[in-house]
Amino acid sequence: MPMNEKQEMIIRRALELGLRAYPVKTAGIPVENRARIKCEYGCRGYGKRLSCPPHIMDIDEFRKILLEYDKALLLIGEHDMSHEPDIFRAWSHLRKESFHKMLELEYLAFREGFTYAQLLRPGACNECDVCAEQCRKPELRRFPPEAVGINVGKIMDTVGETFVFCDPSDIKCVGILLIE
C-alpha cells in the first residue's frame, strides 16, 4: 500500500477511536525554548514524572531529531467535563485514556512500515501512581509535545483548532504522532 494510503488508514482508525487527526508537516511544528520555563517555574509536577523535564531530552536535541522527520499527525481528543466536580481527577483519567488510543495509532503506524513512528503523548505520563527512580514501564514512556518545546496552541491554530485553558466544557487531549 502506498505511504499516503497508509497515512489515510491511520487517520481513519483515529476517527474510529474518537480522535481527530490532522496531517501536518514537521517543518511547521513550532519548537520554542520559552516552553521550558513553564515546566521549571510554575508546574507543580516539575521533576516528579520521568516523562517530563528534567528527565527527558533537552529542546535542542529534540529540534535536531524533528529535522529527520517530514510528516506527523496532530491528534486531538475533546471532552466536555463541565459536570465533573474534580477536574484534576478527570484530567488524569482523560489523558490516560487518550494516550492509549494514540499509542494504538503509533503501533499501527509501526506495523505499516513507518519504522520511526513515535508518539508525543497528551500530558505527563501517569501509567503509575508515582514514578520510581527508574521507569517501571519503559515501553509506555512517552513525553508530551510541550515538554520538548512545542507550542501546542500555535500548531493547533494552523489546523483551525482552538486551545482553551481552564474551561471544563472544552478539555482537549493533544498528542503528536511523528510518522516519517
Q: Which residues bind ligand SF4 (CB under 6 A)?
A: 49-51, 125-128, 131-132, 135-137, 140-141
Alpha-helical runs (H) found in the chain: 3-16, 35-40, 59-66, 87-111, 152-158
* Minimum CB–partner distance for residue 169 and ligand SF4 (Å): 28
Residue 173 or 179 having the CB closest to ligand SF4: 173
Are 90 and 167 within 8 A, CB to CB?
no
Residue 63 or 141 having the CB closest to ligand SF4: 141
What span, in angstroms and rounded, lies between the C-alpha atoms of 68 and 180?
8
Residue 77 or 144 having the CB closest to ligand SF4: 144
Residue 5 or 133 having the CB closest to ligand SF4: 133
* Minimum CB–partner distance for residue 143 and ligand SF4 (Å): 9
Kindly list the distances between the CA atom of residue 172 and the CA atoms of 69, 116, 121, 136, in Å, as whole numbers in the listed order. 25, 26, 12, 27
What span, in angstroms and rounded, lies between the C-alpha atoms of 139 and 136?
9
R_g of the chain computed on alpha carbons: 16
Residue 37 or 128 having the CB closest to ligand SF4: 128
* Minimum CB–partner distance for residue 27 and ligand SF4 (Å): 29
Q: In what order do the strands lie in the sheet with 171-178?
A: 20-25, 71-79, 171-178, 118-120
* Minimum CB–partner distance for residue 34 and ligand SF4 (Å): 24
* Minimum CB–partner distance for residue 116 and ligand SF4 (Å): 21
